[in-house]
Amino acid sequence: MSETKTVAFIGLGVLGGPMTGHLARAGFAVHAYNRSPEKADYWRGKWAEQALDVILHLDPAATAQNADIVFICVGKDEDVEEVVRGSSGVFERMKDGAMLVDHTTTSATLARDLAEECENRGFDWLDAPVSGGQAGAENGQLAIMCGGSVAAISRARPVMESYAKAITHVGPAGAGQTAKMANQMCIAGILGGLSEAVRLAQGAGLDLDKTYKAISGGAAQSWQMDNRWKTMTADKFDFGFAIDWMRKDLGYALDEARRLGLSSPITALVDQFYADVQAAGGSRYDTSGLITRLSKSTKQD
């Protein structure tokens, strides 16, 4: 049983909103904040429908002041900086011995920097990006990759189990973010190949259902194939994680690879393909919208 009684959650998007609800459902005293008041009002209504008690605040500092653990799930490095170090950021009022857990996908550099600052301030730290998307958050089935100390992961694990199916301690501060970069690189590469495979099958006039059945039971099988083959062939691209966010994540991955002196040509190529989709108006498509860059004929770009 966790010793944590009171938690704060900063960021009530498609992930943070459901995660906050799971914390309340698990019996924690939950305080929450969102920079957009409209989104906060939306979740206020949702939680009321579910008889969940979540106290909403007007700024991050007030949200964090009584919390044993402060969770963050916002957009990018600059957003984390704002809610942590900015005016009325959580560092202004976090209590002695509290813990900061960042579920945002950020650069590993920021994670290591914040970990050092937390140590200097007497706080525990975890960088803990998540995978599983909106459905995983809603169903409490997220996978979390964590960077930080053994003591920190032991402290946070019983609380994060409210919304996670898998929690893996990857290594020291920054390791969680680096593992998430590897995750996004894998997804990008798979979707690049899957997009071309779908277009080949379409261009050749194959029965798409039979083609999927023929290849999905072997070495080509993947989550993306199982969950996106049919939606990609139907030109449906409204299944959560947007291309705008994927490009942000791939940017962090490419920056980290360069810092380490590594080459990532496939990731760089798919990132450029996503830029083409953005330029064509598809920035809010889910990541499988990569296929829209390719002609439906057998003549590729």
* Tens-digit pLDDT profile for residues 53-62: 999 999 999 9
Tell me the mean pLDDT in the region 133-155: 96
Confidence of residue 301 (pLDDT cuts 50, 70, 90): very low
Write down the pLDDT at residue 241: 87
Give the side-chain half-sphere CA count within 13 A for 284: 1
State pLDDT tens for residues 207-227: 999 999 999 999 999 999 999
What does 212-244 look like in DSSP terms, one character per residue?
HHHHHTTTT--HHHHHHHHHHHTT---SSSBHH
Write down the pLDDT at residue 2: 62
Q: From the candidates 5, 46, 180, 210, which is the catalytic residue? A: 180
Torsion angles phi and psi, residue 80, rounded to 5: -65, -45
State pLDDT tens for residues 54-102: 999 999 999 999 999 999 999 999 999 999 999 999 999 999 999 999 9
Q: Which residues are bridge partners to 198 per DSSP?
A: none
Average pLDDT, the chain: 95
> Is residue 76 flagged as an active site residue?
no
Write down the pLDDT at residue 1: 41
**What are the chain's domains?**
6-172 (3.40.50.720), 178-293 (1.10.1040.10)
Strands 124-127 and 142-148: what pairing?
Answer: antiparallel
Q: Which residues are bridge partners to 71 per DSSP?
A: 9, 101
Write down the pLDDT at residue 75: 94
Q: Is the dihedral of CA 264, 132, 73, 165 positive or negative?
A: negative
Whether 196 contacts 297, CB under 8 Å: no
Which residue, 58, 60, 47, 51, is CA-closest to 20? 47
149 contacts: CB under 8 Å, gap ≥ 6: 124, 125, 172
Give, rounded to a whole angstrom, the gap between the first and last alpha carbons of the chain: 57
Confidence of residue 297 (pLDDT cuts 50, 70, 90): low
Token match 């990569």: residue? 290
